[in-house]
Amino acid sequence: MKRTEKKVDLNAHLSDIRTELSREGEKNVVSICLKNVSGKEITSILFRAKGYDYFGDVIKVEEKDSFFIEISALHLKTGEYLQDKQIEIAGDIRKIELEEERVVFSDGGVEERKEPQEKIYYVNCFEKDSYKDKPELDELLEQDERFCCYPVENETGWICACAYLNRKENQSCVNCGYTKKEVFWKCSEKAVKDSRKIKQLAFDKHLQQIARIKKRQETKEIIKYLFEVFLVLLGIILALWLYICFR
């Protein structure tokens, strides 16, 4: 295991926001990628955007330093990524910065962007290259390829098996979408060790079954060999008897 430092904004609705500018003919297009970590399904996102030119100077849009970009008609569930959403923007912009302004949820709720509440925390993560960690890590990866640690509770909230820190009131992980109950039931240290024991017992039973089958096959081979030897000896005796009788 490796003690890993991580940081999370507990007030964030979105994470991993990335932008990429490209030209499509005469159009200037920004491609937006992001992840929903709000804990609820998002249907609309409003960003406040700032554009810059080649020299890093702010480009005004309608005489203002910032403008709005809205992405609507979404069905973005918690833990899901929005990939390469393309929006046309002003042609002179060569760099863009996005700041979440507002999100709308599928239940009709609307939430403005709150002040960041960043929290640094530490997680004991299993290492992929560690022979010692491999059995436990393999058990977790069978549940989900994002799982890498045992879930734990702390003074802030609870850390999922995907190593994401959730608020105490969150009943599902906002990063991977699994419920707290399911994660602690399937991925706790006790659950993983019990699963390994069950699999080891099943493996041992399988080996015993193979050994029994092998032993039966060996016994059959010995019996077959002895029978063949008996037939050979019987043939020899019969040949000698015939030789004696008709000499």
Maximum CA extent, the chain: 129
| pLDDT at site 226 | 86
**Mind listing the pLDDT tens digit for each residue in 28-54?**
999 999 999 998 999 999 999 999 998
Mind listing the pLDDT tens digit for each residue in 196-244? 787 777 767 777 788 888 888 888 888 888 888 888 888 888 888 887 8
CB atoms within 10 A of CB 5: 8
d(CA 3, CA 103): 34
Is the pLDDT higher at 144 or at 245? 144
The answer for 63, left when phi > 0, alpha when psi is -120 to 50, beta otherwise, is left
Distance of CA 111 to the CA centre of its chain: 28
Listed in sequence order, the DSSP H helices in the chain are 134-143, 180-187, 189-245
Task: Report pLDDT digits (tens) over 128-166.
Answer: 989 899 989 999 999 999 999 999 999 999 999 999 999
- For the cut 90, the answer to whether the pLDDT of residue 100 exceeds it is yes
Is 0.85 topped by the overall pTM?
Answer: no
